[in-house]
Structures are given as structure tokens and as C-alpha cells.
Amino acid sequence: PNLFQGGEGPPRSEHDAIRVHGESAVSAEEASLLGHVAEALSQDGRASPMDTLASAYGGLVLLSDRMEDQNTWVMRRTMPAGDSERSWELHHLGDVALGEGLSLVVGHTGINAPTTNMVAGVAKRRSTDEGIDDAMNAIGTLVHRGLEALLAGDAEAVGRAMTENHLLLRRIGVSHPKLEALVSAALPTSLGAKLTGAGGGGCMIALTRNAKATSEAIELAGGRTWITPLGTPGARLEACPEGGLLRQD
């Protein structure tokens, strides 16, 4: 998506074009913020800043309801939610150090599940099933356990946390039979696997030391796969169109 000056709307002239040069360039913080605004507008306000934070900064990021570490804290993000307000504390912890030979294999189910519908479904189930809140609280505890494992470089513990997280996400009703098939296919050759994103379809991920075997297993189960290293950088300018980009004078 384009990043417009001030986030107020589309550019009115070449002087309002994308800022990628010099002191006026869009920062990672601004890219994260504007990306989250755009995502929230497209999803009726039901959008976490996780994806846009990770895309802007790269490496290991953390969302929490409290400031976990002042040295890694980036900003507080707030958003209206009906008569109340949602708030997140955003952190950037830098690169992931889990040793050599580790990869994430992404498996796509081929099923499109709009995030807005999935989030609304969880909200509806919470009103009648008290176990949903218990599972969500357990996920919060598990995130901190997984974070400790990441910071300690314990890949096996990270994998176990991923698989446990998947079971909790299944409990709150955001899995899908195709996701279950891909996760089950990945587990024998990986350290852990889970659905990712809003669920209901979409993608799953597996942490593995044998990316080829895990990828093949997921594909045999009907998924489409991509293999990615850990700790990739955030948003950056890779190339310019012929003639360059418009910039402020």
C-alpha cells in the first residue's frame, strides 16, 4: 500500500508522493502505524497491529497489553472499539537467534476466510461459552513462555509452544479441517506447527530443521508451501521504477 503524507488521504500532487528519501522518509514506526490504520479501516476496526508491526520492523516483535521491556518498546497503539478502546503495547526485540538450519514452512490451505468474519465469530462465541475466555487467557500465558524460549534460543521449546498454541486456537473455534490436516502432516518432521492469521482457512506454519521434508508432507496433504528463514528484515525499498520515484523537493 502507498504511504501518504500525514495519512490523510491520496496524494494531491507530486509533492504528496511516497516519502522514501532523506530525512522525510517514512520510518518503520510510521509505516507500521499507517499500515495498521489501513487494515483496520478494511476490517471494520477489528485489526491487530501484529502483521503491520512485523512487516515494518522485521525480526522478532511482540504485542502485549502492558509494556514488557522499556528497551524494546516501540509505541502504544490504541483504537476505538464500540463504546470502549483497544490498546496494545508494541515491542521490537530484534533478530531471532535459534541456531543454524531452522526454517519456517508456510502452508496455505487454499481457503479464503475473511478476518472480519473470523473475529466476529470469536466475539459471538465468547458471549455463550465461558471456556473461550479461559483459552484466550491460556494463550496469553503461553505467549510469555514462548517468548522466554525464543530469547533463550531454545528451538524445541518454541516448537512445543507453537503446537500448544494451535490446540488453544482450535478450542476457540478458529481452526478448520484443512488446517488440521496440514498441521498434522507437518508435525512428524517439525519442532512444532500451528495455524497463523485469523484462522478458518488461510495458512499454517511449521518450525523445522528439515524444511524439504516438512514442505513435501504439507503438499502431500493438499497444501501449497513456501520456505522462509527466520529473522528476515522489515520493509525496505528493493527497486525503483524507471525514472525513479517522486519525492519532495
Cα separation, 230 vs 158, in Å, equals 13
Is 16 part of the annotated catalytic residue set?
no
Backbone angles phi, psi at 58, to 5 degrees: 70, 175
Q: Which of 16, 44, 51, 133 is catalytic?
A: 51
Backbone angles phi, psi at 231, to 5 degrees: 70, 30
Answer for the pair 180, 162: CB distance below 8 angstroms, yes or no.
no
Coil vs helix vs strand at 73: strand
Closest CA to 52 of 19, 96, 3: 3
Cα separation, 5 vs 69, in Å, equals 31
Answer for the pair 211, 4: CB distance below 8 angstroms, yes or no.
no
Coil vs helix vs strand at 22: helix
Helices 177-186, 155-171: crossing angle, 10 deg rounding = 160
Answer for the pair 118, 232: CB distance below 8 angstroms, yes or no.
no
Strand 224-229 and strand 103-108: the pairing is: antiparallel
CA distances from 213 to 2, 104, 175 (A): 38, 12, 24
Catalytic residues: 51
